[in-house]
Amino acid sequence: MRENRAPPDTDFGFSRVPLGDKQRLVDDVFHRVARRYDLMNDLMSGGLHRAWKDALVTVIDPPRSARPFRLVDVAGGTGDIAFRVAAAGGSGTRASVIDHNGEMLRVGRERALQSGLDEAVTFVEGNAEALPVADRSADACSIAFGIRNVPRIDRALAEAWRILKPGGRFVCLEFSTVDVPGLDALYDAFSFNVIPTIGRLVVGDAEPYRYLVESIRKFPRPEAFAAMLRDAGFRRVSHRVMSGGIVALHSGWRL
């Protein structure tokens, strides 16, 4: 007789929830903040997120020519990374934003139309663990501040490897661990006290931002995440920390 088992637990911030519930809870968080998501990024980081994303685009390095180049930006939401890559690349550069949250995608499509990038950037609803993208069809795959929200990170990394062409590059920008004495305490105080307050004032709800802060603290350290990339098949894996360890930029190649 087959035994009925509950799905294993996973992290949701500092809480433990059934694995099957995490995606729904994450979707609810981003549904509530979608319209003010980009404004909140500026307020929470003091504008630093722009420099971090510029560094990611520099690593992706789209060609400035008509040579075809395809980026798949996973959990790309409102399209910030995709727009930056499309603007940095030449006429052959195209970007596909894959996100599980319909409200974030609606905001992204509106931005694409307003900026005249609706032909260069497309938005597709999909799951990071089962990307609606053909094998070996992308020149680059990126995910910025989204990998920690995926229930099964190993599956998302396997999918990124699957869709990349040989010679393609995976680039991940994610919050990390502050190890600078003094800065770590200041960062914690800002994260747990100021950010939820800003969320309440700007978005009308502190809880989504309390979750986001908690999820950052649960994410693996850079060395541990680099090991996960190697396990997924990536080679020439590297990372560099920025802003005192607030974020880390990870990279791996499909060779």
Rounded to whole angstroms, the Cα distance separating 239 from 226 reads: 7
- Name which residue leads in pLDDT, 3 or 251: 251
Q: What is the DSSP string of 173-201?
A: EEE----STTHHHHHHHIIIIIHHHHHHH
- Name which residue leads in pLDDT, 123 or 21: 123
Among 43-52, 170-179, 205-214, name the most confident range: 170-179
- Name which residue leads in pLDDT, 8 or 179: 179
Residue 2 lies in a domain: no
Quote the percentage of the chain above a pLDDT of 90: 58
Confidence band, pLDDT 50/70/90 cuts, at residue 104: confident
Beta-bridge mates of residue 174:
248
**Angle at alpha carbon of residue 248, lines to 189 and 26, rounded to 5°:** 70
Beta 138-144 vs 247-253: how paired, if at all? unpaired
Quote the percentage of the chain above a pLDDT of 70: 84
Six token digits for residue 206: 């502190």
Element holding 88 (H helix, E strand): helix 80-88
Does position 2 have pLDDT exceeding 50, yes or no?
Answer: no
Closest listed residue to residue 94, CA positions, set 129, 63, 48? 63
Q: Count CB atoms within 10 A of the CB of residue 16.
A: 11
Domain that holds residue 119: 9-253
Looking up residue 128, the CATH number of its domain turns out to be 3.40.50.150
Six token digits for residue 1: 């007789």
pLDDT at 43: 75
Does position 235 have pLDDT exceeding 50, yes or no?
Answer: yes
Digit-coded pLDDT (tens) for 201-223: 877 777 777 777 787 888 899 99
Does position 148 have pLDDT exceeding 50, yes or no?
Answer: yes
pLDDT at 15: 46
Digit-coded pLDDT (tens) for 51-97: 999 999 999 999 999 999 999 999 998 899 999 999 999 999 999 99
Confirm if 74 and 128 have CB atoms less than 8 A apart. Answer: yes
Residue 22 lies in a domain: yes
Number of domain units in the chain: 1
Confidence band, pLDDT 50/70/90 cuts, at residue 13: very low
Residue 61 lies in a domain: yes
pLDDT at 9: 53
Rounded to whole angstroms, the Cα distance separating 250 from 54 reads: 14
Residue 164 lies in a domain: yes
- Name which residue leads in pLDDT, 214 or 233: 233
Six token digits for residue 47: 């504008």
Mean pLDDT of the chain: 86
How large is the average pLDDT for residues 119-136?
97
Residue 4 lies in a domain: no
pLDDT at 88: 97
Beta-bridge mates of residue 10:
17
Strands, E assignment, the chain: 9-12, 15-18, 69-74, 93-99, 121-125, 138-144, 164-175, 235-242, 247-253
Strands, E assignment, 89-222: 93-99, 121-125, 138-144, 164-175
Residue 143 lies in a domain: yes
Does position 16 have pLDDT exceeding 80, yes or no?
Answer: no
152 φ/ψ angles, rounded to the nearest 5 degrees: -120, 90
What are the angstrom distances between the C-alpha of 154 and each of 72, 136, 192, 193, 226? 18, 18, 28, 32, 12
Residue 1 lies in a domain: no
Residue 97 lies in a domain: yes
Return the minimum-mean-pLDDT range out of 24-28, 141-145, 170-174, 210-214: 24-28
Give the SS3 label for residue 172. Answer: strand
